[in-house]
Chain A
Amino acid sequence: MSGSLGRAAAALLRWGRGGGLWSPGVRTAGSGAGGGGGSGSTEHLDALVKKDKVVVFLKGTPEQPQCGFSNAVVQILRLHGVRDYAAYNVLDDPDLRQGIKDYSNWPTIPQVYLNGEFVGGCDILLQMHQNGDLVEELKKLGVRSALLGEDKDQDSK
């Protein structure tokens, strides 16, 4: 099992150009109204992770990830055809970078949140992708994974 995991992981961690034809809604944290707390505060982060169904904190952007693990997250979401997600670049904001680690009590970036709930980092997302859990979780959010293929509504004779 570890063999295939290694191969798949290696493929995803390879530096790719990432994205291309689409651009997910890259939001900048910390911008917008409301001064209290700052970009690393619990309230602010709480709002960020709940604002969108799929939220990721990355090093870099989906178009240009600055780290292999962040890139892996971007590629997995792309494989599933998830286009509409919030991606926050922690390299832009040191308060955010530290704040999100405190918020989730998780020491590393990337971090993936589904429906406001912390799911894990790149290893966990990769595992979920490989064992089919990610398709299920996306389904629960009302997001249909591209890997499910065509709708089976057609008549078959």
Chain B
Amino acid sequence: LWQLPLRCARRTFASQTEGELRVTQILREKFPRATAIKVTDISGGCGAMYEIKIESEDFKEKRTVQQHQMVNQALKEEIKEMHGLRIFTSVPRH
């Protein structure tokens, strides 16, 4: 049921690139407990660079570098195609 908010997100589905959708999908699979995932292509749609924001219980009590490592691991194959990425992880407030 928590997936509904993700679908009705502020941005319309149609405005996402294929790459954004693919990365988002992978993150949803690898972080089923995530409460918020936002992937933005910051390379002007070229798929070269992404900004990833992800909020999940999985990150609780882990150091930032460990949280980022988890995301790196999840996107290992995709990252090979990227020039770079920015990761912002967080833990749900409540």
- DSSP class of B's interface residues: helix, strand, loop or mixed? helix
CA distance in complex: A142, B88 (Å) = 29
Query: Could you say which of B8-16, B17-25, B26-34, B78-86 contacts chain A?
Result: B78-86
Answer yes or no: B60 CB below 8 A from chain A CBs. Answer: no
For residue A118, which residue of chain B has the nearest CB? B65
- The answer to whether A69 and B65 touch (CB under 8 A), given A2-B53, A107-B79, is no
Residue in A2, A69, A106 whose beta carbon sits within 8 Å of that of B84 in the complex: A69
For residue A122, which residue of chain B has the nearest CB? B86
Q: Give chain A nearest CB distance to B7 CB in angstroms.
A: 21
Chain A residues with CB under 8 Å of B76's CB are 107
Number of residues of chain B lying within 8 A (CB) of chain A: 14
CA distance in complex: A107, B49 (Å) = 13
Residue in A67, A69, A106 whose beta carbon sits within 8 Å of that of B69 in the complex: A106
Answer yes or no: A116 CB below 8 A from chain B CBs. Answer: no
Answer yes or no: B64 CB below 8 A from chain A CBs. Answer: yes
Number of residues of chain A lying within 8 A (CB) of chain B: 16
Q: Give chain A nearest CB distance to B47 CB in angstroms.
A: 16
23 A-B residue pairings within 8 Å (CB atoms):
A2-B53, A5-B88, A9-B86, A67-B84, A69-B84, A105-B69, A106-B69, A107-B72, A107-B76, A107-B79, A107-B80, A108-B84, A108-B85, A118-B65, A119-B65, A120-B68, A121-B68, A123-B68, A123-B86, A123-B88, A124-B64, A124-B65, A124-B68
**Interface residue ranges, A against B (CB under 8 Å):** 2, 5, 9, 67, 69, 105-108, 118-121, 123-124, 127
**Interface residue ranges, B against A (CB under 8 Å):** 53, 64-65, 68-69, 72, 76, 79-80, 84-88
Q: A120-B65, A123-B88 are in contact. List 17 more A-B contacts (CB 8 A).
A: A2-B53, A2-B88, A5-B88, A9-B86, A69-B84, A105-B69, A105-B72, A106-B69, A106-B72, A107-B79, A108-B84, A108-B85, A118-B65, A120-B64, A123-B86, A124-B64, A124-B68
